[in-house]
Amino acid sequence: VTTTITIQDAIDQYSDLIAHVAWRIVQDREETRDICQETFLRFCAARDRDETIHSPKAWLCRIALNLAVDTAR
């Protein structure tokens, strides 16, 4: 990860945005929570793999959007 953002900072800064992205697609509280949790778990995994993430905000939104679309199918 090329950014110095910590996992806690990412959660603090982007959890509302990620929840909004997920909610707009699934419109279910429990599914939204699950998508948020999975999004941040994937962020942790990417950091552990030293994956390059230039924009955490964009990366997190894309993961949340993909998960929400998959859930809505």
* pTM of full prediction above 0.85: yes
Query: pLDDT category, 3, cuts 50, 70, 90?
Result: low
The residue to which tokens 């994937």 are assigned: 42
Digit-coded pLDDT (tens) for 26-63: 999 999 999 999 999 999 999 888 888 889 999 999 99
Q: 67 exposed, middle or buried (CB, 10 Å; 0-12, 13-18, 19+)? A: buried
